Amino acid sequence: MFANLSDRLTSTFRNLRGKGRLTEADIDGTIREIRRALLDADVAVSVVKTFTGNVRERALGVEVSGALNPGEQVVKIVNEELIAILGGESRQLRHAKHGPTVIMLAGLQGAGKTTLAGKLAHHLKEQGHTPLLVAADLQRPNAVNQLQVVGERAGVPVFAPEPGVTREGERERGNPVKVAKKGLKEAEQRQHSVVIVDTAGRLGVDAELMKQAADIRKAIEPDEVLFVIDAMIGQDAVATATAFQQGVDFTGVVLTKLDGDTRGGAALSVREVTGRPIMFASTGEKLTDFEVFHPDRMAGRILDMGDVLTLIEQAEKAFDQDEAARMAEKVSKGEDFTFTDFLSQMQQLKNMGSMKKMLGMLPGMGAMRDQIENFDERELVRTEAIIQSMTPLERDNPKLLNGSRRARIARGSGMTVADINSLVKRFEQAQQMMRAINANGGNMPQLPGQGGGPGAWGGMPGGKKSKGKQAPQRKVKGKSGNPAKRAQQEAAAKNRASKQAAPGSAFGLGKQEDFDPSSVDADLSKYLK
């Protein structure tokens, strides 16, 4: 959604980094580029003026002129101002003290209210609530049926006493206000903790729509009225939000279709214009593509700083704690990482959702956006097919995978032998990493070239040598051609190595016992035969 805006802003800030001092001309030029980027992203003009004015005032102040790195300080200011116009901090739903919490959804037709009702119900169900969906949209064809399908997918009951309109041109049947009131009574009788009322929308704002929404609100007195808005509608978002605020007076905003490829100015405009917080965001078609809106995290995504916290939260939901404990125990015991483990980890990774979304949450991924977009999500499916074509014995003992076995696996998975070879090679690299983690006491080893202390890869060939005085290297002579003399050289070398090995050395060797000459076979005559 914010790809274009993010690219424009990061490109602008790139010109500031590395400068020891920023002139007023530098700041004005930066503000000009930020203004253009925001306007191109369909952010409301009034919001752009307020935002750039605040940034310029702070950028010309002491906090930038006195900073050691003024370029980074400007980025910090922009980040803080972005968080401010997005709401400052996330707001949770207000729950009723007595009886069920009533949530009413309002918005234009096509904004995604019905699908969002199912997502919100699924989200609340995961938190331990018992939601009930009420089908009060009797105007759109098959809206009631759609809500029933969505409710079934979410595992949430739907109260739908009226069928509503079932085909185009059919006259509206039933009274949505009465349906909403009956739904509230039904929830009280069945002791549901939350009631979510799905209301009708229109293709445009009109008096009839506002009157119906206002009547429903008056009848059920909801604890929350959520205005559902399509994040792809651009400048119209401000006018629509203002009309609904005056007609219904909503308490929070939900952004839908945030995974679209439009400019996304609605997200940066609605909160500032209406003063109402953005509470949730819908980012896809699945029930799980729904998240609490965090202004600081969204600002981080826009500025290509990543959203690691959301990534961690998704991982905690998707990953099996028992499986994680089993893997941790396996690593601590020094057991080898197998294809069975690889398959288990990959399946849990798939449960987190789209790999593209996850990669996009990592800091600095804006520079790799093209590679991420070209990433084939089906690669995980192909890898899974290859591993599942192996026998349990082959998964636990990859060394058994000779040529004929690999050919059989290729036929069984519909892949080529080259694909099998490539996967085995990547698996061996992962296996080596797991071994290195175990040898390093459960910590991630440093990458080659990073250096490090005892146990790090820096102590291995190719690692960064430690600074300071180095012990003089003993010149090693070549091995003698005489078998008797060569045996003596090997024994002496073994003796030196055992004395020099220190506890916790780079290779993980412990303290060795002093060399005992009597342990060497002194009878060298056999070598002369």
Q: Can you say which residues are annotated as belonging to the binding site for GTP?
A: 107-114, 198-202, 256-259
Distance CA 105, CA 366 (A): 34
The neighbour count for residue 360, using CB atoms within 10 Å, is 21
Q: Do the bridges between strand 278-282 and strand 252-256 make them parallel or antiparallel, or are there none, so unpaired?
A: parallel
Sign of CA dihedral 492, 493, 496, 497: negative
Between CA 437 and CA 448, with CA 443 as vertex, the angle to 5 degrees is 70
Taking a C-beta distance cutoff of 8 angstroms, is the pair 253, 137 a contact?
Answer: no
| Helical pair 24-40 and 45-59, crossing angle rounded to 10 deg | 160
Tokens standing for residue 246: 């005056």
Taking a C-beta distance cutoff of 8 angstroms, is the pair 202, 113 a contact?
Answer: no
Known binding site: residues? 107-114, 198-202, 256-259
- Which residues contact residue 400 at a Cβ distance below 8 angstroms, ignoring those fewer than 6 apart? 393, 394
DSSP class of 399 = G
Distance CA 116, CA 137 (A): 14
| DSSP string computed for 147-192 | HHHHHHHHT--EE-SS----STTPPP-S-HHHHHHHHHHHHHHHT-
Q: Which H helix or E strand runs over 301? A: helix 295-302
Cα 156 to Cα 85, 123, 192, 355, distances in angstroms:
35, 11, 11, 28
Distance CA 274, CA 270 (A): 6
Q: Residue written as tokens 């759109």?
A: 140
- Which residues contact residue 288 at a Cβ distance below 8 angstroms, ignoring those fewer than 6 apart? 122, 353
**Phi, psi (5° rounding) for residue 161?**
-75, -20
Between CA 122 and CA 49, with CA 305 as vertex, the angle to 5 degrees is 95
Taking a C-beta distance cutoff of 8 angstroms, is the pair 132, 186 a contact?
Answer: yes
| DSSP string computed for 217-248 | HHHH--SEEEEEEETTSTTHHHHHHHHHHHHT
Taking a C-beta distance cutoff of 8 angstroms, is the pair 262, 234 a contact?
Answer: yes
Q: Do the bridges between strand 290-292 and strand 278-282 make them parallel or antiparallel, or are there none, so unpaired?
A: antiparallel
CA-closest candidate to residue 253, choices 281, 220, 294: 281
Distance CA 461, CA 473 (A): 15
